[in-house]
């Protein structure tokens, strides 16, 4: 699957009513709207990894791919 088709698949899933509910739940659950820092550096890295997945999803849904 090429990147354009994959992006369209992400959009069809996460822009549906159910997809929006799931995306919002995951965003809250995995810290998109809060800092991931805690005193334990391993825990901070773990939380930042979770958060990064959601940032990727939001970016994929928001941004148009750049033409090369």
Structural domain spans, the chain: 3-62
pLDDT < 50 regions, the chain: none
Which of 1, 13, 2 lies closest to 61, judged by CA?
A: 13
| pLDDT value of residue 65 | 67
Q: Given this model, what pLDDT does residue 67 score? A: 60
Contacts 24+ apart (CB under 8 A), 58-61: 58/23, 58/27, 58/32, 60/7, 60/10, 60/11, 61/10, 61/11, 61/14, 61/15, 61/23
* pLDDT for position 63: 79
């Amino acid at each position: 699957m090429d990147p354009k088709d994959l992006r369209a698949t992400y959009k069809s899933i996460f822009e549906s009513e159910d997809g929006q509910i799931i995306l919002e739940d995951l965003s809250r659950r995995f810290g998109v709207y809060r800092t991931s820092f805690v005193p334990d550096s391993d825990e901070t890295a773990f939380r930042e990894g979770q958060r990064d997945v959601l940032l990727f999803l939001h970016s994929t849904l928001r941004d148009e791919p750049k033409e090369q």
